[in-house]
Amino acid sequence: MPYIQIDMLEGRSAEQIKKVVKDITEVMVNDANASADAVNIVVRESRKDHIAVGGVLKSEM
């Protein structure tokens, strides 16, 4: 712990995901006193036709 699950729209580059996990881990260390090696992150990318806001799929927006 902490365990962080990131659900987001597919399409980010490998470089972006690499930076996201590095920087979020830093936030948990700096702001919440977590030890870095205890921070587990899973990134789940979803298709536009599997994510909805306001009852409308992203693929319909």
Query: Could you tell me which residues are beta bridge partners of residue 56?
Result: 53
> Is 2 one of the catalytic residues?
yes
Active-site annotation holder among 1, 2, 44, 60: 2
What does the block give as tokens for 47? Answer: 């298709």
Question: Within a 10 A sphere around the Cβ of 39, how many other Cβ atoms?
Answer: 19
Least separation, in Å, of the C-beta of 34 and a second copy? 7
Radius of gyration of the chain (CA): 14
Residue numbers of the site for a second copy (CB under 8 A)?
1-9, 12, 14, 16-28, 30-34, 36-46, 49-60
Active site residues: 2
